[in-house]
Chain A
Amino acid sequence: MHTYIARRIAEAIPLILLVLVMNFLLLHMAPGDPVFLFIEGGSGTTEEYVAQVRKMLGLDKSLGEQLLIFITNVFKGDLGYSHYYQRPVFDIILERMPITFLLVFLSTFFAAVIGIALGVFAGRRPYSLIDRINTVVAVFGSAIPIFWFGQLLIIAFSIHIDIFPTGGIPTRALGGGGFMDWVRHLVLPVVSLGVVQLALVARITRANMLEVLGMDYIMNARAKGLSDRKVIFKHALRNAILPVITVISVNFAFQLTGAMITETVFSWPGLGRMMFESVFRRDYPVLLGLLIVMSVGVIIINLITDLLYAFLDPRVVYD
């Protein structure tokens, strides 16, 4: 197992390097000069000032030099300095990481629990009422645009039924900040972000349960007189859940920086919203830093998923 983990980590290094180079080049090839955006807002700008800002942002060097500096710095643990925030990117990401992690973890948990439960139910009794409900939820979750669903939730549960705040995180200066206040602020964004995942998880769970429940060994298990719970959870779900775990894991990794719509609609000050804003600001260092987080996140989560496979399925053996 240890050898396997070491090999996976060794394989990840060139992959990360490739991701770094690709991200860097793609971002710098996009039209738009960050210097122009940096000094936007005033007329009468001089060419000297433009040159001064370009130098300050390190954009006066050739693309090759910039790439070399960037990669060298990344391997030293330095993700650069944000053009907009004028602070180290590493600090900014660390500052926002917990808040995003909280949102993504809870929405994933919400989606996993409800989605798997719905999927199991539906798979166990295909074409029953619960299966039809599952289908409706799945279609609804897959089809509804998150930004619209988020706004509907706000209008329903913040404006008309005044239970939750419209967005943001608790603010001590406005008298908030306790545990219950955090819960109140989290419910709508968690549901909004979770519904899409929930739909996917429920659909995949159902499909896999249907397939597994039709297999001979399940019939055998039932013939042995095992309880329904044992058949479903010990024999069927354990086999059916492997692809579901893959989907949940990959989604989790992407949402660490990719929950930008939910974070924007709910004014959630996380990494996704920062990425959304940084794209328009052409804040290359922040964007590259976030893409590194996303890439490394995917690699780590994939590794964890593979290890989880071995834990859940005794047939999977590494080394």
Chain B
Amino acid sequence: MRDRFSSKLSASIIFILLVGALTSIGGTVLAAGEGKTLAIAITADPRSISPVSASTFHDWVVGYRVYSSLFQASEEFSAVPDLAESWDVSPDHLTYTFHLKRNATFHDGSPITSEDVAFSIKEIALVHGSICARGLGSVIQTIETPDPHTVVIRLKAAYPEFLNPYDGLGPHCSAVVKKSLYVGTDVINNPNNFKPVGSGPFKFVEWVRGSHIVLERYDGYHGPKPWVEKVVFRIIGDPIARALAFEKGEVQWVPFEIPRSEVKRMDGLPGNNVFFHGSPCGTIVGLGFNSRKDPFQKKEVRQALTAAINKEKMVDLVYFGGADVGLGHIPVTPFSAWWHNPNAKQIDFNPELAAKMLDKAGYPVKKDGWRFSMALKHTTGYSEHIKLAELIKADLKKVGVNVTITSLDHAAWHEHVFKRWDFDVSILPFCGGPTPPTMKRYHTDNIKPISWANCVAFSNAEYDKLFAEMISETDAKKRLGLTNRLQEILAEEQPTGFLVHSKNATGIKEGIYTEEPKDIWVLGYLWMHLDRIKPVKK
């Protein structure tokens, strides 16, 4: 009796398992890439893909090609026509006149006029698009529309970066919405924010939150017709899951977000092209010294601490080769190399010199074996920061500085470091570069309790004066001279110990792009120009 019962129960379990296994096999699903469909992995849902309330670069990842803007970025990151077929700049650099294309239409087929452009900048970008609100709200004086195809923008003062695709009136500041859909409405809660009607090469099709976003080619686009017919952004938050989806070919492109530890292995697999490249904004990872506190007011102490840290070890052990030793505030990239000052002497790893400098600065080793103690706070929002903190602690121990590490989740870290200034030192990941927003980071006026401001309280009269001159200098050579001097001040003063310039890792399946893609700027360019992606014929 018992045996019969046992066999029935066993049979039931086996049956359930078999049914499970059998039903799981089969089902045909198109591989990514078939039918000119491009599947791209992104890390999270964008907050918004409309210019309304899209506030960060990443919010624009999808929106870039749904909307057209006055101009867009070339491969060299200079301004090239988009909705505006040409523009004139007055000799005093105060008036910009944009001439719009006459054949441009929104995705619903209606024509784009200068009224739409003016409304989009004035009522949407400057009010609700926070990047613009921060940068250009205080720069633009008036926007006029003398006829349906001309937009005239007058500035309060010369602003040399006005045509910079990143920090000027770039795609994120002049994306054009259809005025009639927004005028007189509650802009923030307008339903069109989630079903955007743009005028870019791809039109919005579907957004399943947490899963995917689908764009489709817009055949009435005013520019060249894209080869790709459909773009599917798959939202894959976990880094390993993202890498595995790429490895299997479920996505063909993982821009910027392949785990660094996986790069070497994955690049060796057939059909994969996985590589490191500079980050889109030239990320500098530095050790910020809170100069409100003793002993970090002393320049010599800041210099000594930077000298005591082995940056090359960080590049090897933490970044798996996906970083360069820090070369100051402006990294050497195609975008910023022209502005990089090689004469701004950076501080090399030299623990013996560091120890002597600390002695000289008045911090000898005391009886307890330490010169002084300091609290290092870092965010867990970047997985590599805890490893950096451990290396810093080990290096500084060798010169007699006792480091206590506090790991904080990203929100708490922001509060401690940027709002309450409650830290001795902190690992700071910043965008580098020569543009006013990044150079302003160390300005005295920027010592404010807000995110990414001058949390280290660096204040230098010469820096402030030169910065004020630099942001309104329209002569490129003079501006370069001022920027060079600003870099020298930062290298000398070390408000932040420049540790590394971190790189990102991208994976692209072979066969997607016709040219050598191992260049961040081509990638960055493509990122904003999915319409220009082509297949490779080998």
Contact = CB atoms under 8 A, between A and B. Distances in A.
B236 A33 contact: no
Contacts, number: 224
Interface in B241-284: 241, 244-245, 247-248, 250
Interface in B406-457: 408-412, 414-416, 418-419, 430-431, 436-438, 440-441, 446, 448, 450-453
A169 B234 CA distance: 10
A87 B50 CA distance: 14
B247 to A, nearest CB: 6
Nearest to B59: A41
Given A33-B415, A228-B1, A267-B236, A154 B409 contact: no
Interface in A80-96: 84-87, 92, 95-96
B244 A159 contact: yes
Nearest to A120: B9
A261 B248 CA distance: 22
A56 B188 contact: yes
Given A43-B431, A280-B381, 10 more contacts: A31-B415, A32-B414, A42-B56, A45-B130, A46-B133, A118-B13, A121-B6, A174-B30, A265-B240, A269-B208
Given A86-B47, A154-B241, A44 B23 contact: no
Contacts of A175: 28-30, 34
Contact of A174 (B27, B32, B48, B419): B32
B365 interface: no
A65 B208 CA distance: 34
Interface in B319-362: none
B235 interface: yes
Closest 4 CB pairs of A and B: A32-B411, A269-B210, A41-B56, A175-B30
Contact of B241 (A43, A124, A167): A167
8 contacts: A31-B416, A41-B59, A167-B244, A167-B245, A176-B29, A180-B23, A180-B26, A269-B208
B235 A269 contact: yes
Interface string A262-303: 001111011001100101111000000000000000000000
Given A166-B250, A228-B5, A267-B237, A41 B57 contact: yes
Contacts of B440: 43-44
A137 B212 CA distance: 36
B450 A86 contact: no
B166 to A, nearest CB: 11
Contacts of A265: 238, 240-241
B22 to A, nearest CB: 10
Interface in B102-119: none
B192 to A, nearest CB: 13
Given A37-B411, A45-B453, A174 B29 contact: yes
A44 B437 contact: yes
A181 to B, nearest CB: 5
A304 interface: no
B250 A50 contact: no
B227 interface: no
A36 B248 contact: no
B412 A174 contact: no
Interface in A152-177: 154-155, 158-159, 162-171, 173-176
B490 to A, nearest CB: 15
Given A32-B414, A96-B210, A159 B240 contact: no
B78 to A, nearest CB: 21
A63 interface: no
A235 interface: no
B287 interface: no
Contact of B234 (A45, A85, A87, A168): A168
A38 interface: yes
A227 interface: yes
Nearest to B420: A31
B414 A273 contact: no
Given A120-B9, A167-B236, A39 B130 contact: yes
Interface string B1-29: 11011100100110010001001111111
Contact of A163 (B24, B34, B59, B450): B24
Given A86-B193, A181-B27, A32 B209 contact: no
B55 interface: yes
Contacts of A228: 1-2, 4-5
A119 B94 CA distance: 80
B141 interface: no
A47 interface: yes
B500 interface: no
Which of B37, B193, B410 counts the most chain A CB atoms within 10 A?
B410
B194 A87 contact: yes
B142 to A, nearest CB: 21
Given A32-B412, A37-B410, A39-B451, A183 B16 contact: no
Given A173-B206, A273-B237, A37 B244 contact: no
Contacts of B39: 174
Contacts of A187: 20, 24
A117 interface: yes
B230 A159 contact: no
